[in-house]
Amino acid sequence: MKRLLLRADDLGYSEAVNYGIAKTVREGLIRSVGLMPTMPAARHGLALLEGMDICLGQHTDICIGRPAADPALIPSLVDETGMFKSSRVYRAAHARGEDFVRLEDALTETEAQYALYLDLVGEKPRYFGGHAVASETFFQALHIVADRHGLKNCPPSFAKSGVSIGGKPACICAMHSMDPDYDPMRCLQEAVAAASETLPNVYICHPGYLDDFILRHSSLTVNRTREVEMLCSPAVRRWLEEQEVQLITYDDV
């Protein structure tokens, strides 16, 4: 039997995204959710999920909004206004073969977000990872902080090999949500067909609805709404059952 972990990233990104994620938990297939603790809508998202049976993790962000640490302490991560450098800046640097993130800055900010997460949630994250940016130094910092605090570290969404969850081997399913012709059901079917029979398979989703904030700050927009529909579809649930796919969370890994 194939084991599939369906994860929703970006809780807290915006109120509209929160509503979409909450629907996929309440009516759909999502049981693992990543919280962005620095975002203004983080508390709103947690309130929507209160009392729901979920595996909540930390989705550490270094490319949207205001940092948890003092900007003066993390100069490589922020612009002249003290806000995080955008994902566009990371992509441009990656294209040049550069990684401008300093490890000490990434460690400082990751620790600050972990402390903020504890304050918001009241308990340790049940898994630990990062909002995808093209920086190996950032992912090194996540690994170090996870080890310090005994957290279940998770690979980035674009990892291809040597993937593990808390040190245990796993597989990351291909993600196509940025494709303009994205068909969530077809992509899920392809992921299940290619999934490992022996290792847990992580399928990363970004369900959500749209508001002005998400339209101004994210390149992933309409495809979020398509994922909400797919994840809440009874037909998709039936199909997974017919394929004898076991749905798991990070607690099961």
- Write out pLDDT tens, residues 114-123: 999 999 999 9
Burial 94-123 (b: 16+ CB within 10 A, else e): eeeeebebeeebbbbbbbbbbebbeeebee
Query: 54 near 33, Cβ under 8 Å?
Result: yes
Q: Which of 206, 204, 200, 207 is nearest to 247 (CA)?
A: 200
Query: 207 near 221, Cβ under 8 Å?
Result: no
Residues in the chain: 253
pTM of the model: 0.95
* pLDDT tens digits for range 175-224: 899 898 999 999 999 999 999 999 999 999 999 999 999 999 999 999 99
Give me the pLDDT at residue 100, please. 97
Q: Mapping DSSP to helix (H, G, I), strand (E, B) and coil, where does residue 109 land?
A: helix
Q: Which value, in Å, is the radius of gyration of the alpha carbons in the chain?
A: 17
Residue 53 has pLDDT above 80, yes or no: yes
Distance of CA 88 to the CA centre of its chain: 18
Q: Which of 133, 80, 142 is nearest to 109 (CA)?
A: 142
d(C-alpha 89, C-alpha 5), whole Å = 31
Give me the pLDDT at residue 162, please. 66
Residue 90 has pLDDT above 90, yes or no: yes
Quickly count: other Cβ atoms within 10 Å of residue 80's Cβ. Answer: 6
Tokens of 9: 């990233």
d(C-alpha 33, C-alpha 25), whole Å = 9
Quickly count: other Cβ atoms within 10 Å of residue 198's Cβ. Answer: 8
The residue behind tokens 């640490």 is 69
Tokens of 91: 């992509």
Query: 229 near 182, Cβ under 8 Å?
Result: no
Instruction: Map out the domains of the chain with their CATH numbers.
Output: 3-252 (3.20.20.370)
